[in-house]
Structure 1
């Protein structure tokens, strides 16, 4: 699959995967060490010409970079789990019982 036409859907799927990785250390490690393969294993398949790089800063955002060659670089944000977000809040968001992304403006009263 090429980059999706619906970037909002893609970003939501990425956000869900990041939240799941905060709950699962093995998934976090896989995403960190083998990002493209881990994305593909979770239904987020990119073309061969796309290289995925991880950016771990707390304020990281997704970035799509072109190069002079045929490679496109997708910078995937993978920040550490925020200290002020509980596992329960993450589960609430993943289950659809809270609005806002964990670490952002999550509705903390969901659970």
Structure 2
């Protein structure tokens, strides 16, 4: 499987993608409707046997699980943008001007 050894790095990339999606409705909708293709298009390599499912719960965390067959399911969190989070806070984090994910929100690993 093409998941990196450093899961924290991979999950940080997904958290950044979620932040970008909170600023871009088209990206959010694409992540929701075509999660695997969107991850691939953004440099996150997935093998063909990895199925991506989206969990939109505000407290969702990433989950990786096997099945009885050869498919591996990656459950990706894609919470809605919190009401108390501003676009400016998200942008600061995406630009690297803030080390912690904004507002104490837990998106993926950060």
Same fold (TM over 0.5): yes
Tell me the matched-pair count: 106
Structure 2 SS opposite 1:46: coil
Gaps of 5+ in 2: none
Structure 2 SS opposite 1:28: helix
Worse-matched range after superposition: 49-58 or 97-106: 97-106
Per-residue CA deviations over 1:31-80 (Å, capped at 9, x if unaligned) read: 00000000000000100110000000000000001111000000000000
Gaps of 5+ in 1: 107-111
Q: CA RMSD in A?
A: 1.4
> Which residues of 2 match residues 91-106 of structure 1 at below 5 A?
91-104=91-104
> Which residues of 2 match residues 1-111 of structure 1 at below 5 A?
2-104=2-104
Structure with greater contact order relative to length (CA < 8 Å, sep ≥ 6): 2
TM normalised by structure 1 equals: 0.91
Which residue in 2 is equivalent to 1:109?
none
TM normalised by structure 2 equals: 0.92
Larger radius of gyration between Structure 1 and Structure 2:
1
Runs of 4+ in structure 1 off by over 3 angstroms are: none
